[in-house]
Amino acid sequence: MPARILFDEAHSEAWTIRPEVAHAMQPAHPADASYAAAAEALRARGFSVRAGGLELAEADVLVIAHPSRPEYERVVPGGVPRFTEPELEAIEAFVAAGGGLVVLGETEQEKYGANLDELLGRFGLRIEHDTVQDYEHHRQAPSWVLADLPDGARGIEGDVLARVSEVCFYRTGTVSGAGRVLARTHASASTPCAPLALAATYGAGRVVAFADSDLFG
């Protein structure tokens, strides 16, 4: 049975996998709000992918892609960027029972009005309020942060970065907490050697937190 991936689109997210919703959010350039290509790439590899609310009984992996107040981002209509306490508890129980959780944050995370810190804090992670710059590795656009991909992301627990040789984070914060570093800043960055993506286990499940959401659009 293929893994079932659920993109939450009930909490004012800045990204959607539905092309028609992306067009309504960003008429001039729908790709600025669209993860449709990412969803299709997953489907092409045999995954079941859909958008919805927190119907966790029908999912194996939950993706939360940058909830935001509409003052800062064009967002999926309806909903608010904060998860209720029962929703936080439901997500925690989902991961503990073996579910996967992917959380995409953003630069200057605290301003968007989301409570991803409350969610990720349950798993020992946090997206820091930061904007990284690295002139040495991308002088023409230092806020486009080329990541250092440590060898520790590859190993007997599974090659999380299979077929990935380079990653660029576009205007990113950093992630903190106990976990497996998938990507980090270089020593030359304004926040040196800091995680940009972390994977952590929790109960029977796994959580991956990214400090930037503009990675897969």
Q: What is the pLDDT of residues 41-80, one digit of tens each?
A: 999 999 999 999 999 999 999 999 999 999 999 999 989 9
CA distance 76 to 15: 7
In this predicted structure, what is the pLDDT of residue 157? 62
CA distance 28 to 31: 9
Q: In one letter, which amino acid is 134?
A: D
Name the residue among 87, 81, 77 with its Cα closest to residue 115: 81
Contacts of 75 by beta carbon, 8 Å cutoff, 6+ apart: 12, 13, 14, 25, 67, 68, 69, 81
Full-model pTM? 0.94
Residue-wise burial string across 160-177, b where 16 or more C-beta atoms lie within 10 A, e elsewhere: bbeeeeebebebbbbbbb
In this predicted structure, what is the pLDDT of residue 153? 63
Q: Tell me whether residue 27 is exposed, middle or buried, using C-beta atoms within 10 angstroms of its C-beta: 0 to 12, 13 to 18, 19 or more.
A: exposed
